[in-house]
């Protein structure tokens, strides 16, 4: 399986939108790689540029040891699954799956055998004579995947592969896709605006903003050590608490509370600038009685998350959210304390993680 190297990619659309800005990226062989970011950050443009559906104004795209920048899509050895699946409505599932092989002038019998095998790999063996309109959303997605992989591409590109499915089916399809990508061992790049999907599926994630990559890392790295407040607030089902802070005598002052200096920021946080203290709701320990070195406040909202609850509290004019286990029973109006895990707390200066270069999270 080849790797993918993007070097100084630039793309400006008519009207002046800079969709890709001197973008550098390396996707390793066989990797399942996510492009994540808010709408309009350039994810689709990047994927389409790898596919050859957009031409960059600057930079290069290499697949394996080939520079494919000037090659048309059909000669790049890759396959793409579109958000709407783009199955041919007048063809059966089998004909759809076999279509790319037909384009490659593979003989009819071989085509049909190959399509049947791929259909079986994707659990579609009983549906091969149906047309797309006779399939459920999940089955259509599998048929589109089958069509993409039937010709055994070197690289698979997926544009928001799960976004057309309802919530439950999405979870099922996610697990299926992850397993299938492993089995196929194909270098895969997928676009999503859904951080949970990126965390769940990808080996590594690139978080994008305004045509640039803000951070590349494993799901654990981007979740635990976002290197900017932008990434910190984008990743996580409940956003990270980000509190304006002052640093004094080896401690942090935030929301009128004195907190221990995060372990990663020891000896790093000197000098001026605007400091922000970051702690995820999952990394705060709840108490209904006073705790030292903790945020103190009053509960304003309690939301049930099933096996836990999301507690919102007001601390000296700041809002702090805490994930609290079912062993506690906080209620609005009551006081509460939330002690941070110092090894998971972070300090940002001017939006950038202090000590980012120094320590790394194991994958
Ligand atoms: P994403 O996939 O992250 O939502 P896109 O890559 O689709 O972002 O778009 C990046 C930026 O480029 C956006 O500001 C979008 O409006 C702009 N854009 C995308 N396609 C075109 C186009 N064909 N012409 C002009 N602007 C475009």
pLDDT score, position 85: 84
Per-residue pLDDT at 104: 84
> What pLDDT shows up at residue 76?
92
Distance between CA 16 and CA 23 in Å, rounded? 17
**Cβ–ligand 1 contact at 37 (below 6 Å):** yes
The tokens for 37 are: 């970011």
CB atoms under 10 Å from CB of 285, counted, come to 14
Q: How far apart, in whole angstroms, are the C-alpha atoms of residue 346 and residue 123?
A: 45
pLDDT band at 270 (very low <50, low <70, confident <90, very high): low
Percent of the chain with pLDDT over 70: 96
Q: What spacing in Å lies between the alpha carbon of 19 and ligand 1's midpoint?
A: 6
Nearest CA to ligand 1 atom 13: 40
State the pLDDT at residue 168: 80
Looking at residue 361, its pLDDT comes to 42
- pLDDT at position 166: 80
Confidence of residue 357 (pLDDT cuts 50, 70, 90): low
Instruction: Write down how long the chain is.
Output: 363
Closest residue CA from atom 10 of ligand 1: 42
* Angle at alpha carbon of residue 238, lines to 178 and 275, rounded to 5°: 120
- What confidence tens digit (pLDDT) does each residue in 276-307 have? 999 999 999 999 999 999 999 999 999 999 99
Q: Is the CB of 45 under 6 A from ligand 1?
A: yes
State pLDDT tens for residues 218-265: 999 999 999 999 999 999 999 999 999 998 878 899 999 999 999 878
User: Two tokens at 140?
Assistant: 């259509």
Ligand 1 site, residue 17, Cβ cutoff 6 A: yes
Please indicate whether residue 211, judged by its CB atom, sits closer than 6 Å to ligand 1. no
pLDDT at 362: 40
Q: How far is the CA of 80 from the centre of ligand 1 (A)?
A: 18
With b meaning 16 or more CB within 10 Å and e meaning fewer, what string describes 305-336?
A: eeebbbbbbebeebebbbbbeeeeebeeeeeb
Is residue 183 exposed (0-12), middle (13-18) or buried (19+ Cβ within 10 Å)? Answer: exposed
Any ligand 1 atom below 6 A from CB of 48: no
Residue 283 three-state SS = helix
Three-class SS state of 139: helix
What's residue 122's pLDDT? Answer: 83
Instruction: State in Å: Cα 20 to ligand 1 middle.
Output: 10
DSSP label of 73:
G
> For residue range 111-136, what is the model confidence (pLDDT) as tens digits?
999 899 889 888 899 999 999 999 98
Q: Separation of 180 CA from ligand 1 center, angstroms?
A: 30
Mean pLDDT of 311-334: 97
Closest approach atom of ligand 1 to CA 45: 6
CA distance 269 to 265: 6
Assess whether pLDDT exceeds 90 at residue 359: no
What band does 199 get if pLDDT is binned at 50, 70 and 90? very high
Question: What is the CA(62)–ligand 1 centre distance, in A?
Answer: 23
pLDDT at 266 over 80: no
Q: What one-character-per-residue DSSP string does 217-281 give?
A: E-HHHHHH--SBHHHHHHSSSSPPEEEEEEEETTEEEETTEEEEPPGGGTTT--S-S-EEEEE-G
**32 contacts 189 by C-beta, under 8 angstroms:** no
| 59 contact partners, CB below 8 Å, separation of at least 6 | 6, 7, 8, 9, 10, 20, 22, 23, 69
- pTM comes to 0.91
pLDDT tens digit sequence for 35-62: 999 999 999 999 999 999 999 999 999 9
Q: Whose CA is nearest to atom 25 of ligand 1?
A: 13
Q: What count of Cα atoms within 13 Å lies in the side-chain half-sphere of residue 7?
A: 8
Q: Whose CA is nearest to atom 5 of ligand 1?
A: 42
Q: Is residue 16 in contact with ligand 1, taking CB distance under 6 Å?
A: no
Check whether 334 has a pLDDT greater than 80: yes
Domains of the chain: 4-227 (3.40.50.300), 231-360 (2.40.50.140)
Structure confidence at residue 152 (pLDDT): 84
pLDDT at 358 over 50: no
pLDDT tens digits for range 92-110: 999 999 998 898 888 999 9
Q: Residue 269: its pLDDT value, please?
A: 60
CA of 199 to the centre of ligand 1 (A): 24
Q: Residue 161: which residues within 8 A CB-CB, separation 6 or more?
A: 81, 83, 141, 145, 173, 177, 190, 192
Give the span between the Cα atoms of 217 and 225, in whole angstroms: 10
Question: Ligand 1 centroid vs 109 CA: distance in angstroms?
Answer: 42
pLDDT > 90: percent of the chain: 74
Distance 135 CA to ligand 1 centre (A): 31
The answer, yes or no, to whether any atom of ligand 1 lies below 6 A from the CB of 278, is no
d(CA 353, CA 276): 9
- What sections of the chain are H helices per DSSP? 43-51, 93-103, 108-121, 137-149, 167-184, 195-201, 219-224, 229-234
Q: Do the Cβ atoms of 98 and 146 come closer than 8 Å?
A: no
Decide if 337 contacts 299 (C-beta within 8 A).
no
């Amino acid at each position: 399986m080849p790797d993918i190297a993007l070097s100084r990619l630039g793309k400006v659309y008519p009207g002046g939108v800079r969709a890709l800005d001197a973008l550098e990226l390396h996707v390793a062989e066989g990797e399942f790689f996510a492009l994540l970011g808010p709408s309009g950050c350039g994810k689709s443009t990047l994927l389409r540029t790898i596919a050859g559906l957009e031409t960059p104004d600057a930079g290069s795209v290499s697949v394996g040891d080939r520079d494919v920048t000037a090659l048309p899509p059909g000669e790049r050895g890759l396959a793409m699954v579109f958000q709407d699946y783009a199955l041919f409505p007048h063809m059966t599932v089998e004909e759809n799956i076999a279509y790319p092989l037909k384009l490659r002038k593979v003989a009819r019998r071989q085509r049909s055998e190959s399509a049947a095998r791929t259909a079986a790999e994707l659990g579609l063996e009983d549906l091969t004579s149906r047309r797309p309109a006779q399939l459920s959303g999940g089955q259509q997605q599998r048929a589109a995947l089958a069509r993409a992989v039937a010709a055994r591409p070197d690289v698979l590109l997926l544009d928001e592969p799960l976004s057309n499915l309802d919530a439950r089916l999405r979870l099922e399809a996610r697990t299926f896709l992850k397993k299938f990508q492993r089995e196929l061992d194909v270098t895969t790049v997928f676009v999503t605006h859904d951080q949970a999907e990126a965390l769940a599926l990808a080996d590594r994630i690139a978080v994008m903003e305004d045509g640039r990559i803000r951070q590349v890392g494993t799901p654990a790295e981007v979740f635990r050590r976002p290197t900017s407040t932008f990434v910190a607030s984008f990743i996580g089902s409940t956003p990270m608490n980000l509190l304006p802070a002052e640093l004094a005598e080896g401690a942090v002052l935030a929301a009128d509370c004195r907190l221990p200096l995060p372990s990663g920021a020891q000896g790093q946080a000197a000098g001026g600038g605007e400091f922000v203290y970051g702690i995820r709701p999952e990394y705060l320990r709840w108490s209904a009685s006073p705790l030292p070195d903790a945020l103190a406040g009053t509960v304003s909202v309690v939301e049930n998350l099933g096996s836990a609850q999301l507690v919102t509290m007001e601390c000296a004019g700041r809002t702090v959210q805490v994930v609290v286990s079912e062993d506690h029973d906080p209620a609005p109006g009551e006081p509460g304390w939330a002690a941070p895990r110092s090894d998971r707390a972070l300090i940002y200066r001017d939006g950038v993680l202090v000590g980012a270069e120094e320590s790394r999270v194991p994958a």
